[in-house]
Amino acid sequence: MRIISGKNRGLKLTHIGAGDLVSHLRPTSDRVKENIFNLLENGKTNLSFESIRVLDLFAGTGSLGLEALSRGARQVTFFEKNKISLKLLISNISICNVEKLVEIRRCDLTNIIKNPDKKFDLVFLDPPYHSNLGEIAISNFLKEGWLSEDSIIVFESNKEILLKEFECLDCRKYGKTFVNVFRSMNN
């Protein structure tokens, strides 16, 4: 795993060892990550990363949020509760030297409190496959005021996802991974 573009381009992130795979970590491959960021910058969203606020839900190693920071995001809040993932995430944050630009929250994403701060412009969502945790989490984040009026949601899954509160902008399949891109509606 590495940072693909921006100020930390080429920086290698913490290696996922065999013991980590036993913990069911499924980091986004560099190929899929590169395609996600191409979709965001050159697709229907035409997103500029300059000064945006990012949520990285079910963050794992933090690869997506760290890539957004490298490309100019102002701040990333990571949500992760798996102990092994948290160690990898903290290591990767240190490697990228972005401690002052991130916040880590360890909590259950299906039971979110009201947003105490500014709203977020971009959400990366990579929940466990074969579960509805992602749908529950994003619905709660919307309800509790975490998302800006026209926020973009990138939802990785093993299938095409439909979210009633969001406009589907794109869905692409890369191997076994579907990348679903949405925009908030009627916030």
Instruction: Map out the domains of the chain as residue ranges.
Output: 18-184
Helix (H, G, I), strand (E, B) or coil at 115: coil
Of 16-30, 102-116, 172-186, give the lowest mean pLDDT range: 16-30
Predicted pLDDT of residue 20:
54
Model-level pTM?
0.93
Helix (H, G, I), strand (E, B) or coil at 3: coil
Residue 101 DSSP label = G
Is the per-residue pLDDT at 88 higher than 70? yes
Bridge partner residues of 12 (DSSP): 2
- The identity of residue 154, as a single letter, is V
Average pLDDT of 43-50?
92
Calpha distance 77→68 (Å, rounded): 11
Domain formed by 18-184, architecture: 3-Layer(aba) Sandwich (3.40)
Is the per-residue pLDDT at 82 higher than 70? yes
